[in-house]
Structure 1
């Protein structure tokens, strides 16, 4: 789109661009942090926070490249334009966005400061960043607001929420509390009728979607797309795949394995892993690729660690026994040579490389034998060659089970998926799923649990109401505005947005909401804070209004209440100090024998 714009005369001078808006642990949030990260990236093999590994126009490799014998590495494609800014420029001089056009570079932004300055056409982010609106006033530019809080350009008109079913539970409740503020910032009030943004949410596994959308976005009119057909499995947009003779084409097949006689689920794992590894050798080479890589899903990192140990000792030993028992020749015998771990324990810049390695086909260098994955594969991992998966233990929810098992068998016409679920005989829930295995899978999508979103429950209000209120005040007021004096009018407008949403979604909680609003107004007006930030690093602990949720107050500080304000929508456990005292120690010598 930006290339077309540059060649046309009637598409304006503003570039079509894309930005990724994530936390500081993934991408740099400031130009200072970006330059520091670039220097570290050149000096050593540090985490690459710039994400872009190939030019999206020509495919040329970008990112860290080892220098060879000299040591260190080069950051190819990441160009420091000035002492404070970094630009993506394709290293291929012939590329449309290459060195010949370095003044333009690629229209891609990963640094928050660059996103606020350029206001990209399309922004990809997470709902966690909404919490930072209470801390970062520069984010107002994303909503088309100027330094004084007035509307300069149109706000975002389209919001696309992927994987809607994940915005539920505690996370969904926090998001639902902030959404009235976000919607107001995205609403254009300049005309006679306010224009709200259009919201499109996508998900493959959801139940009671109307109630969830109401609690999240306050929208009572929801249209499901594609709509249901007149017959089961039939709609204008899709139909069951059939062979030439009219029979149903092979799809994903589920296989349940449980053994109470083997003692432990690890023993069953060893036998299943060995059978799938060696069994792939019996498949004709033309069809072997889809079932060569066994994608293992584990519900916890503890179970994943146990499986790593099995791959190093027990599984090779059992394969050796199979070889001796069945007389398998060396050329037809298989070892788990290349294993991979795909979990959150890997660095963020290693995840794309790991996914790229999973795409290596049978016979190519680096083709993975066994991949051990956690919930990181639940969304976004779309590799067509994978056809075999082993799930160890029933996942927590049916929605997760569907999402995880959907990673294999995506090319149903050439490599139908096989999902092997191993159940633990000692776990009552696993036994229940095994006993009703057929009926459960015949109505799999009907088993999806309804999501729970309660944005106006008392714990949610205590945790996030002040953060959402401050976010609206700071984004719509002058950027230099401080918390003193208490902005009663702006406070009433912000809390009024939340109250109007509560009246629409959950009127029973209005009294609770009013009491929390009154309490926060009283604390703010009596606190007489002159600074927003009360953190030790970059703030004023004595005069600040807010500190990061989960951070401990300075020992011995005798100051009025400071609001613990979230920087993320997810749980953050606060730190506490423990002191062991002997004031209540029991003297065993002086106690009667019976008391001892």
Structure 2
């Protein structure tokens, strides 16, 4: 309790000038960048919950963005494990104050996957609808063996590693009027089974209402901002609450009760942009246009001071990073971590060792100008399989 009070009073003020500085994690592949910013995300979510009581600490605290959907799905399981740990801490009877209130709030700490409908259903649907791409339709088809794809793009429990089965997915409270697609582990000894689903949201509609503390998305998904009014809730623009469903903003009137004291939720505190070097050329131009809107939606003014989100980016290759970040995020000071040292082979944070001591990775590329990707994949895979057969 003393540690929680200290953190609450001393750490991570929203008014800190460091918010105007972008931090860039520049480290080789496999060096632990993901673990670094997952730890930062966990600290940010916990700080937000410690500062506000009841449900007022809810809302999207961290947005992690990727340029490729494959990267997004790959990172979901790792980030979900962190969120599972936070949710168990939130519900631990030991983590309460002197009045019996949960230190990490009354609203669940969840992670949301906000991507296109090919990877996860964008709508819940209901029984009898012709559209089979909804959550209800995909769960039904998956259970009947009519569709080999699971309703959610995650294969195993991020907490215990047990593989999911068709019975792991269900639309609750019913297929006739669902409010969420819930995922449960089939391992009876797992913490997230039976009446406790995993804190993972993969359908757009419940994501807009439940506002997961950790949101993973591809940058193209933010094209929905001007067309889907419910996305305004990501930036704290809600004023009503239903304890069984979630939060409501101006796009969904006549639902829920007013938030305590008429408060609105805080906007996101942290943006994590992975693989920064991929946002270049035409993609960088489009992303920069949306970034202006995102920055404006998340901006707040307190005591006459402008408060914006903290930007943390990561890359394994860097060139003109400060200029790119200034053009993309409007952050004119960039700190690169770790800073360059006097010895390229020993930067204190990483040491180069010979391959004779530690087996090294060999990265190879294929130059195939004027050839389609299918042909390149076919030739490369045929060669690899032939070599494996010969070995």
Give TM-score scaled by structure 1 length. Answer: 0.41
Note closer, same or farther for the CA distance 1:257–1:222 as it changes in structure 2 (3 Å cut): closer
The answer on 1:80 being equivalent to 2:171 is yes
Superposition pairs of residues 143-542 of structure 1, within 5 angstroms: 143-146=235-238, 147-148=249-250, 152-241=264-353, 251-252=360-361, 300-307=373-380, 315=386, 335=389
- Where do 4+ consecutive residues of structure 1 move more than 3 Å? 148-151, 247-258, 306-312
Q: Secondary structure at the match of 1:19?
A: strand
The answer on 1:4 being equivalent to 2:89 is yes
Q: Secondary structure at the match of 1:52?
A: coil
Note closer, same or farther for the CA distance 1:311–1:3 as it changes in structure 2 (3 Å cut): closer
The answer on 1:53 being equivalent to 2:155 is yes
User: Separation in 1 of the partners of 2:364 and 2:272?
Assistant: 36
Residue 195 of structure 1 deviates from its aligned partner by 1.1
Residue 257 of structure 1 deviates from its aligned partner by 11
Cα deviation 1:394-423 (Å, max 9, x = unaligned): xxxxxxxxxxxxxxxxxxxxxxxxxxxxxx
Q: Secondary structure at the match of 1:130?
A: helix
Match of 1:42 in 2: 143
Higher relative contact order (CA 8 A, sep 6+): 2
Residue 160 of structure 1 deviates from its aligned partner by 0.5
RMSD of aligned Cα (Å): 3.0
User: Separation in 1 of the partners of 2:350 and 2:308?
Assistant: 32
User: Separation in 2 of the partners of 1:197 and 1:135?
Assistant: 23
Whether contact under 8 Å (1:54, 1:60) holds in the other structure is yes
Q: Higher mean Cα deviation, 76-85 or 191-200?
A: 76-85
Match of 1:28 in 2: 121
Match of 2:61 in 1: none
Residue 252 of structure 1 deviates from its aligned partner by 4.5
Residue 211 of structure 1 deviates from its aligned partner by 1.0
Identify unmatched segments of 5+ residues in structure 2.
1-85, 97-102, 126-133, 239-248, 252-261
Note closer, same or farther for the CA distance 1:181–1:254 as it changes in structure 2 (3 Å cut): closer
User: Separation in 1 of the partners of 2:115 and 2:150?
Assistant: 14
User: Separation in 1 of the partners of 2:365 and 2:188?
Assistant: 55
User: Separation in 1 of the partners of 2:322 and 2:281?
Assistant: 16
Note closer, same or farther for the CA distance 1:309–1:60 as it changes in structure 2 (3 Å cut): closer
Note closer, same or farther for the CA distance 1:229–1:45 as it changes in structure 2 (3 Å cut): same
User: Separation in 1 of the partners of 2:358 and 2:375?
Assistant: 38
Whether contact under 8 Å (1:23, 1:129) holds in the other structure is yes
The answer on 1:114 being equivalent to 2:203 is no
Q: Secondary structure at the match of 2:170?
A: strand
User: Separation in 2 of the partners of 1:255 and 1:137?
Assistant: 45
User: Separation in 1 of the partners of 2:223 and 2:349?
Assistant: 38
The answer on 1:19 being equivalent to 2:112 is yes
Give TM-score scaled by structure 2 length. Answer: 0.61
Whether contact under 8 Å (2:274, 2:315) holds in the other structure is yes
Q: Of 74, 98, 105, which residue of structure 1 is paired with 2:193? A: 98
Cα deviation 1:11-53 (Å, max 9, x = unaligned): 3212111111101111111111111111121231343240122
Residue 166 of structure 1 deviates from its aligned partner by 0.5
Note closer, same or farther for the CA distance 1:29–1:133 as it changes in structure 2 (3 Å cut): same
User: Separation in 2 of the partners of 1:255 and 1:308?
Assistant: 14
User: Separation in 2 of the partners of 1:307 and 1:242?
Assistant: 29
Q: How many residue pairs were aligned? A: 263
User: Separation in 1 of the partners of 2:198 and 2:318?
Assistant: 37
User: Separation in 1 of the partners of 2:378 and 2:359?
Assistant: 34
Note closer, same or farther for the CA distance 1:255–1:226 as it changes in structure 2 (3 Å cut): closer
User: Separation in 2 of the partners of 1:174 and 1:162?
Assistant: 17
Match of 2:184 in 1: 89
The answer on 1:141 being equivalent to 2:233 is yes
Identify unmatched segments of 5+ residues in structure 1.
64-74, 259-264, 266-297, 320-333, 337-368, 370-596
Whether contact under 8 Å (2:111, 2:214) holds in the other structure is yes
User: Separation in 2 of the partners of 1:189 and 1:27?
Assistant: 36
Cα deviation 1:545-572 (Å, max 9, x = unaligned): xxxxxxxxxxxxxxxxxxxxxxxxxxxx
Residue 220 of structure 1 deviates from its aligned partner by 0.8
Q: Secondary structure at the match of 1:213?
A: helix
Report which of the two structures shows the higher radius of gyration computed on alpha carbons.
1
Q: Higher mean Cα deviation, 43-52 or 179-188?
A: 43-52
